[in-house]
């Protein structure tokens, strides 16, 4: 007796069905569902009852097609295997959910081309905004997004030169602070175990930070003192082993992140080197475990959840055409713990 199509026994309930059941037009149903436009209380009640009765669920694609808004936001991160990004994305998606938006997630595996591809796909899926990590992207990225007029935001880094929307911090400066602290307590021989800098501007900026801080004091980083590795514990361990083989091995090793630092510490233990007696180790990120290693790890605290939440907030504001500052600097702090101390030589 209702208008259900007999050919599709379990077809989805549509607006039309609801309208039929409530004895009103689809327009009115749409109005109460989006509570846009005036609708009499009477109709409203009837419609709400019908919606509940039928268990109506709006058809997202149809809504998106008609309204030209998908209520969906895309994010492309290097990988969720890095706890930092996992935490950031968790906060990001939590914020979005509270505003009725959903998260379409993709990872680039630290590959610029892959990232571009993911962004294209995301845009094809109609995302209303895009979150990116870093500011090193494919050349076609910004023009592409601009042309489609899709708001985006870079995260985890801040490029003072650019006016690109970003929620992040100055990776270089953070490392400069760290190195200055190490210099101040007497270190002169530095080693660096960095992330892969090829497609990772954060990793690159951190290395630059070391160089700049050293240069300021008339020092420099020898070629062999810099080792680039993926962000894994074992890579840190192997890298430190190489560093220790050097004739003039460093008294302080700065690691691209806490995972690398953890690995480096393991190798010190294995080789009977005391930390920080023989060698100081510093990390980056302040992951949960950093405070609990022995010795506890000196590192730079990066509030990943704050970055995620603020990025979501920024995009939502842009989408809703609310005024927002294009760039937000996130505070990061040097956390001096027990893994660093004055050099013994």
Partner DNA sequence: TTGAAAGCGTTACCAG
Partner DNA sequence: CTGGTAACGCTTTCAA
Nearer to DNA, 42 or 245 (CB): 42
Among 26, 83, 138, 188, binds a second copy (CB under 8 A): 83
Among 48, 63, 242, 305, binds DNA (CB under 7 A): 63
Q: Confirm if 232 and 263 have CB atoms less than 8 A apart.
A: yes
The region of 37-45, 225-233, 250-258, 278-286 touching DNA under the rule CB under 7 A is 37-45
Contacts with a second copy by CB under 8 A: the residue count is 52
Q: How far apart are CB 82 and a second copy at their closest, in Å?
A: 9
Q: How far apart are CB 180 and a second copy at their closest, in Å?
A: 30
Q: What angle do CA 180, 164, 208 make, to 5 degrees?
A: 25
Nearer to a second copy, 124 or 272 (CB): 124
Spatial distance between the Cα atoms of 322 and 17, rounded to a whole number of angstroms: 36
Strands 190-194 and 166-168: unpaired
Of residues 212-271, those binding a second copy (CB under 8 A): 232-233, 259, 262-263, 266, 269
Q: Which two tokens stand for residue 24?
A: 């009103």
102 binds a second copy, rule: CB under 8 A: yes
Spatial distance between the Cα atoms of 253 and 20, rounded to a whole number of angstroms: 71
Residue where the block lists tokens 């039309």: 16
Among 52, 65, 222, 320, binds a second copy (CB under 8 A): 65
Q: Which does 40 bind (CB under 5 to 8 A by kind): a second copy, DNA, none?
A: DNA
Q: How far apart are CB 121 and DNA at their closest, in Å?
A: 14
39 binds DNA, rule: CB under 7 A: yes
The DSSP code for 2 is -
Q: Which does 33 bind (CB under 5 to 8 A by kind): a second copy, DNA, none?
A: DNA
Q: Which does 318 bind (CB under 5 to 8 A by kind): DNA, a second copy, none?
A: none
Spatial distance between the Cα atoms of 280 and 262, rounded to a whole number of angstroms: 12
42 binds DNA, rule: CB under 7 A: yes
Q: Which does 39 bind (CB under 5 to 8 A by kind): DNA, a second copy, none?
A: DNA
Q: Confirm if 116 and 137 have CB atoms less than 8 A apart.
A: yes
Q: Is 198 helix (H, G, I), strand (E, B) or coil?
A: coil
Torsion region of 159: left, alpha or beta (phi above 0 gives left; psi -120 to 50 gives alpha): beta
What is the largest distance, in Å, between two alpha-carbon atoms of the chain?
A: 91
Spatial distance between the Cα atoms of 190 and 297, rounded to a whole number of angstroms: 17
Under 8 Å CB-to-CB from 337, ≥6 apart: which residues? 290, 291, 295, 296, 297, 298, 299
Cis upstream peptide for 295 (omega within 30°): yes
173 binds DNA, rule: CB under 7 A: no
Of residues 110-169, those binding a second copy (CB under 8 A): 118, 120-126, 147-149
Strand stretches in 135-284, DSSP E: 152-155, 166-168, 190-194, 226-228, 252-255, 280-282
Binding residues vs DNA (CB under 7 A): 5, 11-12, 14-16, 23-28, 30-31, 33-34, 36-40, 42-44, 56-59, 62-63, 65-68
Binding residues vs a second copy (CB under 8 A): 10, 12, 55, 57-62, 64-65, 70, 72, 79-81, 83, 86-87, 89-90, 93-94, 97, 102-107, 118, 120-126, 147-149, 232-233, 259, 262-263, 266, 269, 288-289, 292, 294
């Amino acid at each position: 007796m209702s208008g259900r199509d007999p050919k599709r026994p379990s077809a989805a309930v549509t607006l039309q069905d609801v309208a039929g059941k409530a004895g009103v037009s689809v327009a009115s149903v749409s109005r109460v569902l989006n509570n846009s436009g005036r609708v009499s209380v009477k109709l409203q009640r009837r419609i709400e009852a019908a919606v509940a009765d039928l268990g109506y669920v709006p058809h997202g694609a149809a809504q998106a097609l008609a309204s030209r808004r998908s209520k969906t936001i895309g994010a492309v991160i290097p990988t969720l295997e890095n706890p930092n990004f996992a935490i950031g994305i968790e906060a990001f998606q939590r914020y979005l959910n509270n505003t009725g938006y959903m998260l379409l997630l993709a990872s680039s595996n630290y590959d610029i081309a892959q990232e571009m591809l993911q962004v294209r796909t995301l845009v094809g899926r109609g995302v209303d905004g895009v979150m990116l990590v870093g500011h090193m992207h494919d050349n076609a990225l910004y023009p592409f997004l601009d042309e489609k007029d899709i708001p985006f935001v870079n995260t985890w880094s801040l490029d003072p030169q650019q006016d690109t929307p970003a929620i992040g911090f100055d990776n270089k400066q953070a490392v400069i602070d760290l190195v200055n602290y190490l210099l101040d307590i007497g270190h002169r021989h530095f080693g660096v175990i960095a992330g892969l800098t090829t497609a990772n501007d954060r990793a690159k900026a951190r290395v630059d930070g070391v160089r700049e801080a050293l240069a300021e004091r008339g020092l420099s980083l020898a070629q062999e003192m810099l080792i680039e590795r993926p962000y894994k514990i074992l890579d840190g361990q192997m890298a430190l082993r190489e560093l220790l083989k050097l004739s003039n091995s460093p008294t302080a090793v700065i690691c691209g992140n806490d995972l690398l630092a953890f690995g480096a510490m393991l190798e010190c233990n294995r080789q009977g080197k005391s930390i920080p007696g023989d060698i100081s180790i510093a990390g980056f990120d302040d992951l949960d475990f950093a405070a609990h290693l022995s010795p506890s790890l000196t590192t730079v605290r990066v509030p990943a959840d704050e970055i995620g939440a603020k990025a979501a907030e920024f995009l939502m504001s842009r989408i809703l055409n609310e005024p927002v500052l294009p760039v937000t600097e996130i505070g990061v702090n040097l956390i001096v713990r027990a893994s660093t101390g004055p050099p013994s030589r």
